[in-house]
């Protein structure tokens, strides 16, 4: 039986992206060694951050185009009040916010390589006084507290293509649940991709993180040929 082109196409795209990522990591490694010598070898995170930032900056337009075919634009547009944008990367969602609904946005991003890229987009979309990049992880409660992000302080949390890549998505979601106000929204939509674990049960980690009013409303689109499955929807923290 000849191979099914519909099945081969996603596989080819995925492996092409993986190979491109490998090349960028090699480039980042060689540049770091030329700049810092062999000491660069004991700083693998810096190399990984540089390569990842370059990959996602290059792929940004493609991600945006793909997300335009999904629920992502409407999820971001509905975000309101005090918002936490978890892992914004190169800022793919910035143009989608409804500025009239936004009181404040905190872009919590552990990779400092993205900071200049994000801040370069804020003026164009009227968010220069409302969006702040915070370089840390969601588990860095001391840093978040300095910014006023404390338990029960957030109206909305956006998780777009993030939870497949973090070390412990269940703990991340527990932190998110604590930071949300009762009745506040978590707007998740993500797919597994480079740097992500394809076999991870992200949905279970989300639903087990705390009490939600509407856990049944999270959708799992049927895409039998996709190697990048996603789930999407809006969760409301139980009051």
Give tens-digit pLDDT for 57-94: 998 999 899 899 888 999 999 999 999 999 999 999 99
Find the mean pLDDT for residues 151-166.
87
Q: How much is the mean pLDDT over the chain?
A: 85
Find the mean pLDDT for residues 182-211.
71
The pTM assigned to this predicted structure is: 0.82
Find the mean pLDDT for residues 128-134.
98
Cα dist from 16 to 22, 69, 104, 171, 176, whole Å: 10, 22, 38, 32, 34
Report whether 154 contacts 180 (CB < 8 A): yes
Position 238 scores a pLDDT of 87
Question: Please, which pLDDT band fits residue 206 given cuts at 50, 70 and 90?
Answer: confident
Q: 50 CB contacts (<8 Å, ≥6 apart)?
A: 28, 31, 32, 113
Rounded-to-integer distance, Cα 176 and Cα 157, Å: 7
Position 216 scores a pLDDT of 85
Position 136 scores a pLDDT of 96
For residue 135, how many C-alpha atoms fall within 13 Å in the half-sphere facing its CB? 9
Report whether 88 contacts 113 (CB < 8 A): no
- Residue 181 CB neighbours (<10 A): 16
**Which two tokens mark 141?**
């409660």
CATH superfamily, domain at 64-236: Vaccinia Virus protein VP39 (3.40.50.150)
Domain range list for the chain = 5-58, 64-236
Position 11 scores a pLDDT of 62
Question: Please, which pLDDT band fits residue 193 given cuts at 50, 70 and 90?
Answer: very low
Asked if the model's pLDDT at residue 197 lies above 80, the reply is: no
Pick the most confident of 11-15, 146-150, 187-191: 146-150
Find the mean pLDDT for residues 151-169.
86
Report whether 90 contacts 57 (CB < 8 A): yes
Question: Please, which pLDDT band fits residue 145 given cuts at 50, 70 and 90?
Answer: very high
Number of H helices, E strands in the chain: 8, 7
Find the mean pLDDT for residues 9-30.
78
Position 1 scores a pLDDT of 47
Share above pLDDT 70 across residues of the chain, in percent, rounded to a whole number: 84
């Amino acid at each position: 039986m000849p191979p099914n082109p519909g099945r081969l196409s996603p596989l080819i795209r995925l492996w092409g992206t993986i190979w491109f990522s490998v090349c960028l990591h090699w480039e980042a490694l060689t540049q770091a060694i030329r700049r810092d010598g062999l000491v660069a070898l004991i700083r693998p995170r810096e190399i990984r951050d540089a390569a990842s930032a370059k990959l996602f900056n290059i792929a940004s337009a493609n991600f945006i185009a793909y997300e335009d075919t999904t629920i992502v634009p409407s999820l971001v547009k509905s975000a309101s009040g005090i918002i936490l944008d978890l892992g914004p990367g190169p800022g793919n969602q910035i143009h989608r916010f409804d500025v009239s609904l936004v009181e404040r946005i905190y872009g919590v991003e552990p990779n400092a390589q993205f900071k200049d890229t994000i801040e370069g987009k804020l003026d164009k979309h009227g968010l220069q006084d409302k969006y702040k990049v915070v370089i840390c992880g969601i588990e860095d409660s001391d840093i978040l507290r300095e910014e006023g992000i404390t338990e029960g302080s957030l109206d909305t949390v956006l998780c777009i293509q993030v939870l497949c890549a973090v070390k412990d998505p269940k703990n991340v979601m527990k932190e998110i649940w604590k930071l949300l106000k009762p009745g506040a929204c978590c707007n998740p939509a993500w797919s597994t991709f480079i740097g992500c674990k394809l076999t991870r049960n992200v949905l279970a980690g989300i639903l087990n993180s705390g009490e939600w009013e509407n856990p049944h409303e999270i959708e799992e689109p049927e895409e039998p040929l996709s190697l990048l499955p996603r789930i999407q929807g809006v969760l409301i923290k139980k009051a």
